[in-house]
């Protein structure tokens, strides 16, 4: 768990003056994907970046459903006596954020959906998840560290050695059992397009200009469906927009928080 400016049930010393921003990481990553945001938001806004169960420093097993991940976030809020958050989710974290909103709308003050989608997996995507499980079982985590970066990063991002190493390192650290369960959870996740029209809190949609997994055109359409929806394009970035363009990304979030 990474955090700044939030006192969690007796640990830490800072006081919360505002509703904390809780950032949910993507697949197969962990809370270190938000390190750039922790630096940016320090002294500006309280931030919580938990590891989803099974990932990063979490000692729990990963659930096999997106709702299971959302329930874990609810337990985290309960443990820490937090009754309101601004919830932001990147990609798989966005699936979890939407499920959380559906289950516990009263706990969400604002929502940010980052390089993600509301729909479920197509038949083709589900088949791809099954193939990924087979590759994981045959080749281990290395398969993901090798194949995923070029989907997560833009061509420019792939040339940035430090960034590429960070992403590969993060993927390599994750447990195969957690990767498998998360693949199953994403494959079988509920289609939540219907929820967009029902959301009655402000929602920011953020997308990297060169995101090939959840393209900007798709996210812009989602933003138009939501009553209080707004859209920010992160120029030049791929799917991992917050890691490729941390300043521009963080400024978009800060504008949303103060807007």
Q: For residue 241, state whether it binds ligand MLT (rule: CB under 6 A).
A: no
**Cβ–Cβ under 8 Å, residues 88 and 44:** no
CB of 26 to ligand MLT, least distance (A): 3
Give the position of tokens 């138009």. 224
Residue 52 near ligand MLT by CB under 6 A:
no
Q: Tally the C-alpha atoms within 13 A of residue 75's C-alpha that lie toward its C-beta.
A: 9
By CB under 6 A, the count of residues binding ligand MLT is: 6
> Quick check: 67 and 103 in contact, CB under 8 A?
yes
* 118 or 203: CB nearest ligand MLT: 118
For residue 110, give the 3-state DSSP assignment. Answer: strand
CB of 38 to ligand MLT, least distance (A): 19
Residues 42-75, buried b or exposed e (16+ Cβ, 10 A)?
eeebbbbbbbbbbbbebeeebbebbbbbbbbbee
Residue 63 in contact with ligand MLT, rule: CB under 6 A = no
| Three-state secondary structure call for residue 114 | strand
Does position 31 interact with ligand MLT (CB under 6 A)? The reply is no
**Rounded distance between C-alpha atoms, residue 26 and residue 90, angstroms:** 5
Q: Which of residues 104-163 bind ligand MLT (CB under 6 A)?
A: none
Report the nearest approach of ligand MLT to the CB of residue 73 (Å): 15
By CB under 6 A, residue 92 contacts ligand MLT? yes
Should residue 184 be labelled a site residue for ligand MLT when binding is judged by CB under 6 A? no
Q: How far is the CB of 129 from ligand MLT (least distance, A)?
A: 8
Residue 213 within binding range of ligand MLT, rule CB under 6 A: yes
Q: If binding is defined by CB under 6 A, does position 27 make contact with ligand MLT?
A: yes
* Cα atoms found within 13 Å of the Cα of residue 167, Cβ hemisphere only: 28
Residue 55 lies near ligand MLT (rule: CB under 6 A): no
Binding residues vs ligand MLT (CB under 6 A): 26-27, 91-92, 186, 213
């Amino acid at each position: 768990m990474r955090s700044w400016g939030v006192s969690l049930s007796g640990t830490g010393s800072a006081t919360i003056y505002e509703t904390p921003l809780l950032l949910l990481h993507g697949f197969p990553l962990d809370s270190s994907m938000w390190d750039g945001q922790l630096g940016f938001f320090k002294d500006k806004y309280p931030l919580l970046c938990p590891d989803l169960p099974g990932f990063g420093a979490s000692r729990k097993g990963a659930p096999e459903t997106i709702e299971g991940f959302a329930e874990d976030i609810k337990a985290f809020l309960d443990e820490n006596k937090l009754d309101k958050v601004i919830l932001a989710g990147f990609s798989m974290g966005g699936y979890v954020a939407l499920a959380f909103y559906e289950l516990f709308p009263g706990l969400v003050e604002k929502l940010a959906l980052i390089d993600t989608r509301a729909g479920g997996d197509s038949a083709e995507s589900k088949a791809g998840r099954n193939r990924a499980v087979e590759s994981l079982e045959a080749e281990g985590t290395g398969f993901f560290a090798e194949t995923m970066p070029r989907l997560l990063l833009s061509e420019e991002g792939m040339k940035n050695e430090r960034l590429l190493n960070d992403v590969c390192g993060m993927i390599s650290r994750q447990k195969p059992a957690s990767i498998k369960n998360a693949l199953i959870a994403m494959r079988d996740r509920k289609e939540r397009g219907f929820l967009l029209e029902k959301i009655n809190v402000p929602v920011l949609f953020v997308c990297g200009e060169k995101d090939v997994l959840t393209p900007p055109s798709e996210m812009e359409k989602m933003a138009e469906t939501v009553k209080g929806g707004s859209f920010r394009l992160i120029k030049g970035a791929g799917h991992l927009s917050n890691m490729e363009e941390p300043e521009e990304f963080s400024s978009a979030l800060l504008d949303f928080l103060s807007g």
